[in-house]
Amino acid sequence: MAAVIIIVIKGLILAVLLLTAFGVLTLTERKVLGRFQFRPGPNRVGPGGSFQFLADGLKLMLKEEIIPNGADRFVFLLAPTISLVAALFAFAVIPWGPPIHLFGQTIPMEIGGPNVGILFLFAITSLGVYGLILGGWSSQNKYSLLGGLRSSAQIISYELAMGLSVVGVLIAAGSADLNNIVSAQTNLWFIVPQIIGFLIYVVCMVAETNRAPFDLPEAENELVAGYHTEYTGMKFAMFFMAEYINMVTVSSLATTLFLGGWHGPWLPPEIWFIIKVAAFMFFFIWLRATLPRLRYDRLMAFGWKVLLPVALANALATAVWVSVVAR
Amino acid sequence: MLTSYFPIALYFLVAVVIGVGVLGASRVMGPRKPNAAKLQTYECGVTPEGEVGPRFSVKFYLVAMLFMIFDVEAVSFYPWAVLMHQLRLFGLLEMALFVLVLGIGYAYVWKRGGFQWQE
Amino acid sequence: MVSTVVFWLAAAVAIVGAGGVLLAKHPVHSALSLVLNLAALGVLFLLLHAEFLAVVEILVYAGAVMVLFLFVVTLLMAGTKTPRDEGRFRLAYQYLLAGLFGLILFVLVAHALVGADWMSSLAATNAGGSFGSIAAFGTALFTKYLLPFELTAVVLLVAVIGVIFLGREHGATRK
């Protein structure tokens, strides 16, 4: 029973942390983008605008829920729920620190560490695409439908290269368990031998989360807002939360696979984990401030014609290294 | 082995409760004053025109089907990668053959313009 | 004990999902029911200690196959109104054929169930250890079942060619 309570508390803490990260990230993004563009960003609510995200959250909470005419009500409500639940759930297998000892119990710093950890994470994130397709379809708006379709086609295209880009890491670690992958990087982070895999992963992770320069689903000048055009209030916010939590999750996975996870000198491991993830988040915002949006045909061609074969070649090259050269 | 999934299952319930809770909270807290214009689908304020279901490019279906096929391929890479230290050269040759066969398919798709969004 | 409860829950969800596929009025709802069914099957795989298969079930079936289904269904039936059965897309003798194939499937499954060696299968899944793990699965796939594995590549190649053939544009086939 005590074990169940610990797990539930840990789960609640993790979920609250992820939702807080979402709030802080929206604010940080607006502030940092403001700095990039020589303007202050939000600065009215609270000291230096630091309560802006609470005000935004409250506002969205109190907004009217509009379900457009002809929409499929059940699917319309299901779509944002799937997005948010999948985003929250995917983080379950990521270790954010070494196990701690508390009240005579060993508590692992993750929800669960299955043998197939990384595959589990990919399986759950691949379910997030349902939110987009269903949201686009159930709204009964042609732009939503087209936006949902585009983004899901984009996500599945880059999912392939993403899946193959981590194969080199699995070869090097000899395991798909994220804890083993972290401990395999005690001496050398995998970013060094797997630099190509890392670069492919980073490109794919930006595309997977539909962020700039891959933010075609939200190409507001041609699609209004894409799959969530018809969503109002908290249901819109749920898609938004899912996007930011997914950013945290893919960044955490990048940290775990390539940057040694929570390993680091002097500071506590959890702090190191947060620092590394935060660096990725800043990178996301930086990209948005710097790069223009890609054209759709180029985006698709890049995923299939460049990233996929290079990821495959990287996997095979790593295998050659392990089986022939490093013998 | 199953014990490692028990916490994950519990956490799934936590995630579902949060997801449904957020959805429910906004239903309870928000006002409700629908009118005809509000319920119309949004097309930049212009009255919606035409059917919802325009015809879509066949490329979308192609991408989805190719994804499915290559996803099966990608999945078989994971057990191979984990075992690479044991399988060694034998494993490499096995996978080289597998990739070679699929490479023919990949090259065929490329040549036929399957990855080309515009002619 | 817990696993028995989980089994019954997952089995019930799987049957509800399967029923939903048949009974739902709109194809999108049918597809969603199938996703539910596949997720429940994933849990059942897990209860059999087939850890890798459980995850692959979700990754490939729920994450890829059903996405394709939804692409087709949502695009061909973009409206949320239930499509009318106009009768012109029906196969000849479809009820008769469905009944016949259903019966054949039932006989096959029943035969397999009656003839199954329950005790040794149970012993295998209860053996614990690495059974069903990614490494155990890989060892079997890349040694004992090497030929089927390489043949999968050929099957996938056929599928790739089929996709391109089906998706070709008329008039653009010869270049």
Q: How many domains does chain C have?
A: 1
Say whether B15 and A61 touch across the interface (CB within 8 A): no
Residue C13 lies in a domain: yes
User: Which residues of chain A does B71 touch, with a Cβ-Cβ cutoff of 8 Å?
Assistant: 159-160, 163
H helices of B1-119, where? 6-29, 36-39, 58-111
**Calpha distance A211→A289 (Å, rounded):** 11
Distance from C59 to chain B by nearest Cα, in Å?
9
- Position A67 scores a pLDDT of 84
Distance from C154 to chain B by nearest Cα, in Å?
7
Q: What is the mean pLDDT of residues A46-51?
A: 84
Distance from B45 to chain A by nearest Cα, in Å?
11
- Quick one: tokens of C4? 């028995």
For residues A202, A203, A207, A208, the Cα torsion angle rounded to the nearest 10 degrees is: -40
DSSP letter string, A264-314: -SSS-HHHHHHHHHHHHHHHHHHHHHHPPPPPHHHHHHIIIIIIHHHHHHH
> Are residues A257 and A170 in contact, defined by beta-carbon separation less than 8 angstroms?
no
The residues spanned by each domain of chain B are 2-111
| Structure-model confidence comparison of residues C35 and A324, the more confident one | C35
**Calpha distance A261→A178 (Å, rounded):** 9
Residues contacting B35, CB < 8 A, separation 6+? none
Q: Is the pLDDT of residue A169 over 60?
A: yes
User: How far is CA B28 from its chain centroid?
Assistant: 32
User: Which residues of chain B does C134 touch, with a Cβ-Cβ cutoff of 8 Å?
Assistant: 78-79, 82
> Which residues in C have their CB inside 8 Å of a CB on A?
26, 28-29, 32, 35, 51-52, 55-56, 58-59, 62-64, 67, 70-71, 74-75, 78-81, 133-134
Q: Is the pLDDT of residue C175 over 50?
A: no
Q: What is the pLDDT of residues A99-136, one digit of tens each?
A: 877 777 777 778 887 888 899 999 999 898 898 888 88
**Calpha distance B91→B85 (Å, rounded):** 9
Residues contacting B51, CB < 8 A, separation 6+? A142, C78, C79
Residue C50 lies in a domain: yes
Nearest to A126 among C32, C63, C79 (CB): C63
- Position C174 scores a pLDDT of 45
Q: What is the mean pLDDT of residues A284-300?
A: 88
Say whether C71 and B61 touch across the interface (CB within 8 A): yes
Residues contacting C106, CB < 8 A, separation 6+? none
- Position C1 scores a pLDDT of 73
Q: What is the pLDDT of residues A183-228, one digit of tens each?
A: 888 888 999 889 999 999 999 999 988 888 888 766 666 666 678 8
Identify the band that residue C89 occupies on the pLDDT scale cut at 50, 70 and 90.
low
Q: What is the mean pLDDT of residues A257-283?
A: 90
Distance from C6 to chain B by nearest Cα, in Å?
10
Identify the band that residue C92 occupies on the pLDDT scale cut at 50, 70 and 90.
confident
Residue C156 lies in a domain: no
Distance from A214 to chain B by nearest Cα, in Å?
16
Identify the band that residue C85 occupies on the pLDDT scale cut at 50, 70 and 90.
low
- pTM for the whole structure: 0.91
- Position C115 scores a pLDDT of 81
DSSP letter string, chain C: -HHHHHHHHHHHHHHHHHHHHHH-SSHHHHHHHHHHHHHHHHHHHHHTT-HHHHHHIIIIIIIIIHHHHHHHHHHHT-SSSPPP--STTPPTTHHHHHHHHHHHHHHHHHHHHHH--HHHHHHHHHT-TTTTSHHHHHHIIIIITHHHHHHHHHHHHHHHHHHHHHTPPTT-S--
Nearest to C150 among B56, B59, B98 (CB): B98
Q: What is the pLDDT of residues A74-106, one digit of tens each?
A: 888 999 999 999 999 999 999 988 887 777 777
Q: Is the pLDDT of residue B51 over 70?
A: no
- Position C131 scores a pLDDT of 76
The amino acid sitting at B86 is Q
**Calpha distance A269→A271 (Å, rounded):** 5
What would the CATH number be for the domain defined by B2-111? Answer: 1.20.58.1610
- Complex prediction ipTM: 0.89
Identify the band that residue A311 occupies on the pLDDT scale cut at 50, 70 and 90.
very high
Q: What is the pLDDT of residues C39-75, one digit of tens each?
A: 999 999 988 888 899 999 899 998 889 988 888 888 7
Q: What is the pLDDT of residues C111-128, one digit of tens each?
A: 988 887 777 766 666 666
Say whether B18 and A171 touch across the interface (CB within 8 A): no
Chain C nearest-CA residue for A73 = C80
Say whether A305 and B30 touch across the interface (CB within 8 A): no
Residue C98 lies in a domain: no
Residue C64 lies in a domain: yes
User: Which residues of chain B does A309 touch, with a Cβ-Cβ cutoff of 8 Å?
Assistant: 106
Average pLDDT of chain A, as a whole number: 87
- The percent of residues in chain B predicted with pLDDT above 90, rounded, is 22
CATH of the domain at C12: 1.20.120.1200
Q: Is the pLDDT of residue B60 over 80?
A: yes
- Quick one: tokens of A133? 């397709």
User: Which residues of chain A does B37 touch, with a Cβ-Cβ cutoff of 8 Å?
Assistant: none
Size of interface A-B (CB pairs under 8 A): 218
Chain C contacts in chain A segment 171-190 (CB below 8 A) = 176
Say whether C71 and B60 touch across the interface (CB within 8 A): yes
Q: What's the domain range around C39?
A: 1-83
Burial of C77: CB neighbours in 10 Å, binned 0-12, 13-18, 19+: middle
**Calpha distance A4→B6 (Å, rounded):** 9
User: Which residues of chain C does B76 touch, with a Cβ-Cβ cutoff of 8 Å?
Assistant: 141, 149, 152
